[in-house]
Amino acid sequence: MIDKMKKTAIVGATGIVGQQFLTALKGHPWLKITTLAASIKSAGKNYEDALRDPKTQALRWYINEEPPAEFLKMKVEDASNLDPSKFDVIFTAIESDQAKKLEPKLAVKTAVISTASAFRYESDVPIIIPGINSDHISLLDIQRKKRGWDGFIIPIPNCTTTGLAISLKPINDSFGLRNVIMTSMQAVSGAGRSPGVPSLDITDNIIPFIPNEEEKIQDETKKILGVKEGNNIKEADFNISSTCTRVNVLEGHTESVFVSTKEKCTIKGIKEAMEQYTGTLMDKGLPSAPKKWIVVNEDPFRPQPRLDRNAYGGMATTIGRIRTDNVLKNGVKYLLVTHNTKMGAAKGAVMVAELLINRGYI
C-alpha cells in the first residue's frame, strides 16, 4: 500500500498514446493526473478544445472508449515549460526527436517514463517490461549517479518488441534461444495520428516497410532478455531477424515467429512453459498487471487482433498455432497478438510506474 497518491503529468496528451494514458489512469489507485501538457499550439486551451479539429471542430478522439469527463476541462500546459519538480512521475508520449531534448530536462528532477525510442539504447538506461526483466531496474541507480539527476529516464520497448519479448521469455528460460525470425503485421495506430498512415495507402494494401522498426526490435529484444552484470546489461546471445509490415488493422499487432532452441523442445513443453509463466515475484500486486501474461489459444484460427487484442484488459499476449518447424534445428513456430497502444504503450508504461513505486524509485 502506497503512502499517498503520486502527482502525475502526461506530456503529449492530445495524441493517440496520450489519450490511452488518460483512459489507463482514470480512477488509478496510485497515480493522479494533475497536469496535461502538449505542444505550444495546444497550450492554454481546455483539453477538450485542444482535441478539436480546427476546421471541422470535430473531437479528434481515437480511443474506443468515451473521453474521461474529469479531464476535458483541464487546461493544457506547454510541455517545453513544464516544471518537473511539481510531479512524482511524468509520462511522455512524444516523438523521439522531441524526447531527446525534453526528457533530460525533466529527468533532472523527477521520474520520466517514456514511450519514445530516444534513450532505449544507452548503456545506463534499462528497457523494462514488468514481469519479464524487472531486475534490470537497478540500472537506474547507475543512471542517476552518472548523469547527476534526481530523477531518471526509463523507456518502454517498441510496441512490436513487447509481445515478442514476452512470448520468448518462457522459451528462453526453459530451452534457451538460438535463432529467432519474426514477421510483423502491425496496426495503423502504431504509426500515431500525425503523420500516421494515409488512408489511401493502407486501404486494400500492406505496407512492406516501416523505417527503423526492424533494427529497434532486434536490438531491444536482446537487451530486454539479457542479464544485468555489474553496471551494464549483457545482451542475450541469440540471433534475431525481423521483417515489419503495416496492415489495415486499427489496433493489435500480429507477429509470426519462428524459433530455434538450444535444447530439444516439444510442442507440449513450449505450451506448458508459456501457460505456466507467471512473471517475476517483485511484480505481484501491481494494479495494471494481467492475471495471465500469456494466453495460449488452441483454436487454429486464433489469435486474431479483433478477437484477442483486449485479452485481460489489453495487457496479455495471446499465442496460437504453436507447431513444429522442420527447417530450423529444434524449431517451433507460432503467431501472437498483442495490444500495441495498451500493453505496448500507455498501460504498459503505467505498469512500469507501478513497479517503480513498488520498488521505492517513485
Does 51 share its domain with 167? no
- pLDDT, position 321: 98
Does 97 share its domain with 187? no
- Amino acid, single-letter form, for residue 2: I
- What pTM was computed for the model? 0.95
253: annotated active-site residue: yes
- pLDDT, position 192: 81
- pLDDT, position 196: 84
- Number of domains, the chain: 2
Residue 126 sits in a domain of what CATH number?
Answer: 3.40.50.720
Is position 154 within any domain?
A: yes
User: Which helix or strand (DSSP H or E) is residue 73 part of?
Assistant: none
List 136, 159, 244, 339, catalytic entry: 159
- pLDDT, position 23: 94
In this structure, the strands spanning 294-297 and 6-11 are unpaired
CB 31 within 8 A of CB 89: yes
Is position 130 within any domain?
A: yes
159: annotated active-site residue: yes
- pLDDT, position 195: 75
Cβ count within 10 A of residue 205? 12
List 28, 136, 244, 253, catalytic entry: 253
Is position 268 within any domain?
A: yes
Is position 1 within any domain?
A: no
Coil/strand/helix, residue 194: coil
- pLDDT, position 2: 66
Does 149 share its domain with 213? no
| Residue 208: domain span | 159-338
Does 165 share its domain with 308? yes
Residue with cell 510496441: 159
Q: For residue 36, give every residue at least 6 positions away whose Cβ sits within 8 Å of its Cβ, in sequence order, or none.
A: 9, 10, 13, 18, 47, 71, 74, 75, 76, 77
Does 181 share its domain with 108? no
Q: For residue 267, give every residue at least 6 positions away whose Cβ sits within 8 Å of its Cβ, in sequence order, or none.
A: 322, 323, 324, 332
Does 173 share its domain with 201? yes
Does 174 share its domain with 246? yes
Q: In what order do the strands lie in the sheet with 239-246?
A: 239-246, 177-186, 253-261, 331-338, 317-325, 294-297
Residue 286 sits in a domain of what CATH number?
Answer: 3.30.360.10
Closest among 166, 160, 111 to 140, alpha carbons compared? 111
- All residue ranges of the chain with pLDDT < 70 are 1-2, 281-282
Does 178 share its domain with 316? yes
- pLDDT, position 55: 87
Does 137 share its domain with 49? yes
- pLDDT, position 64: 81
First-to-last C-alpha distance (Å) of the chain = 13
Does 202 share its domain with 305? yes
